[in-house]
Amino acid sequence: MSRSKTSLLIFLTRLFSDISVILFSIVLAYSLKFKVGWILSNYFRLDWGEIYSHAQIEPYLKSSGLLIGIWILTFVFFGLYRSRAGLMPEADECLSIIKASTISTIQIMAITLIYKDLPESRGVLVYTWALGIILLSFSRLAILKFEHNVFKRGKGTKRSAIMGNDLLSQDIAEKFFLFPTLRFFYIGHINDTPPDQLHFHLKKRYNNIGLPSDYKSILIENNIKVLFVTNYTKEKETNTPIEQKTGPDISEVVKFCKKNMIMCYVIPSVYEFTNSPISTLDFDGLSFIQILLHTNSGFNLIGKRVFDILFSAVMLILSSPIFIGVYLIIKVVSPGPVFYHQTRLTKGGKSFEMIKFRTMIPDAERGSGPVMVSETDENRFIKYGQFLRKSSIDELPQLLNVFRGEMSIVGPRPERPHFVEKFCKEIPGFEQRTDMKGGITGWAQINGRSVLTRRPEHKLKYDLYYIYHWSFLFDLKILIKTFFVVFKREEAY
């Protein structure tokens, strides 16, 4: 199925579903308002609810075309017939439905004040609003699931390849899988050899389809419609900066793509040395690369702090039985303190003592000095310690750090001073992580979790994305996603 036919199918599916659901909501709202008492009296012999003998459904059915039209036009205005991309598009869809349904109902109420021929029962309109939000949310989520499945199978998408072996080339492929509504169907990487370390979401999906020197035949044989070209680099065996590797001339690649009607996207080299999010500016035909600035206002930060206080207070109360249980377990299985305090750095490089339940033997780093935890550290854990870490129960005491204002619920994970100093020397822009207060969970934590602990350059990309795109809704999405990540114990050790 072609891209245009797929788009038309999904649009018509949304449209017909919305019309059916809105009409059903109007009929059901009328029944709830005027017929509940009659149904209970005639069918169940119950004397409950008022019986309306004068209210008929015909006026509502007669005006339903106008009412549905107002809802549909408002939905168009709120972009509810466009595909959504990004983290948890389901939340964006439901939020837009609530907004559009509310505006539609207000408009209809205003119209009934002018045109008396329309049914003016406020009860029916309010019931329709509530039922519409609920039923439309369910129907739209089902359609969104259908849409994702269609795109994941490659229907109505563009067959896409990526030429490059740097981290950015993996970032691009990762977005293909995370956001299928972008409509790029991943065919593979054009690369000499697969990278030694793969992103979390690419572990089972990475596909090397050939050498850069053979890019012409690869693009034609695989029927590639879109090619992304990043800086073609090769990592050294040491931790020293990357060195340039000889590859196809970019100008020749672009020329070949134009000749064969292949859309070609070339990542500007400025992206690599800034290590900051960028955007493009079209200045009267001149294209510029803009380095994004993050401008979190005081009002937004106040709102974030209020949320942190309320959320941490509620969670401390709800999790108090877990606190008591874990406290007793650690006391029984291992001598020493129950809580573990570790110096971390947060906003502005300020240090604080982060609190965790102790999961390792006392003085676990006495002989090694500061080290990062890994899957091979089983001998350092106390009994049940590995379970506490994998289930993230050991992180619960950090709610106290949040309540005291030392941390936030969502933010870049605060790092230890030893590693901050080390990574700042090795990774450009690493110090930007402290532009926001450290968090218990974050964008990096739901995209790899512990696997990113030993890949700070990769974690930095996620943290910078969060800092420059932060919003209250983004925080809520991360929190919801965190629940599922923790529940499935993805990449936890």
Which tens digit of pLDDT belongs to each residue from 433-490? 888 999 999 998 888 766 666 678 888 888 888 988 888 889 999 998 888 887 776 6
Give the closest residue to 68 by CA, choosing from 30, 102, 25. 25
The answer to whether residue 209 is domain-embedded is yes
Q: Tell me, what's the pLDDT at 138?
A: 96
Least confident of 111-120, 366-375, 405-414, 484-493: 366-375
Q: Tell me, what's the pLDDT at 173?
A: 92
Which of 217, 244, 267 terminates a domain? The answer is 267
The answer to whether residue 276 is domain-embedded is no
Select the more confidently predicted residue: 106 or 244: 106
The answer to whether residue 122 is domain-embedded is yes
What are 351-378's pLDDT values in tens digits? 999 999 998 887 766 656 666 665 555 6
Question: Is the domain of 58 the same as that of 75?
Answer: yes
Q: Tell me the pairing of strands 208-210 and 184-190.
A: parallel
Question: Is the domain of 14 the same as that of 102?
Answer: yes
Report the 10 Å Cβ neighbour count for 92. Answer: 17
Q: Tell me, what's the pLDDT at 242?
A: 42
The answer to whether residue 100 is domain-embedded is yes
State mean pLDDT over 157-184.
90
Question: Is the domain of 459 the same as that of 317?
Answer: yes
Residue 493 has pLDDT above 70, yes or no: no
Domain of residue 243, CATH code: 3.40.50.1980
Question: Is the domain of 322 the same as that of 223?
Answer: no
Among 90-94, 222-226, 417-421, 428-432, the range with the most confident prediction by mean pLDDT is 222-226
Question: Is the domain of 302 the same as that of 448?
Answer: yes
In terms of residue numbers, what domain contains 24?
A: 3-152
Select the more confidently predicted residue: 362 or 411: 411
The answer to whether residue 42 is domain-embedded is yes
Residue 199 has pLDDT above 90, yes or no: no
Select the more confidently predicted residue: 459 or 289: 459
Q: Tell me, what's the pLDDT at 61?
A: 87
Q: Where are the alpha helices (DSSP H) in 319-405?
A: 320-333, 385-390, 398-403
Residue 292 has pLDDT above 60, yes or no: yes
Q: Tell me, what's the pLDDT at 238?
A: 41
Among 98-102, 153-157, 166-170, the range with the most confident prediction by mean pLDDT is 98-102
Q: Tell me, what's the pLDDT at 462?
A: 87
* Pair of tokens at residue 61: 């059915």
Question: Is the domain of 146 the same as that of 210?
Answer: no
Q: Tell me, what's the pLDDT at 484?
A: 82
The answer to whether residue 116 is domain-embedded is yes
State mean pLDDT over 385-410.
92
State mean pLDDT over 36-56.
60
Q: How many domains does the chain have?
A: 3
The answer to whether residue 332 is domain-embedded is yes
The answer to whether the predicted template modeling score (pTM) of the entire model surpasses 0.75 is no
Q: Give helix 122-152 / helix 89-114 axis angle, nearest 10°.
A: 150
What are 206-265's pLDDT values in tens digits? 999 999 989 999 999 999 999 999 875 444 444 444 444 456 788 889 899 999 999 998
Question: Is the domain of 226 the same as that of 131?
Answer: no
Residue 198 has pLDDT above 60, yes or no: yes
The answer to whether residue 285 is domain-embedded is no
State mean pLDDT over 129-146.
95
Q: Tell me, what's the pLDDT at 43?
A: 57
**Residue 80 has what DSSP assignment?**
T
Question: Is the domain of 324 the same as that of 465?
Answer: yes
Q: Tell me, what's the pLDDT at 241?
A: 44
Measured between its terminal Cα atoms, the distance across the chain in Å is 44
Cα(489)–Cα(493) distance, integer angstroms: 9
Which of 152, 178, 195 terminates a domain? The answer is 152
Residue 131 has pLDDT above 80, yes or no: yes
* Pair of tokens at residue 432: 């930007």
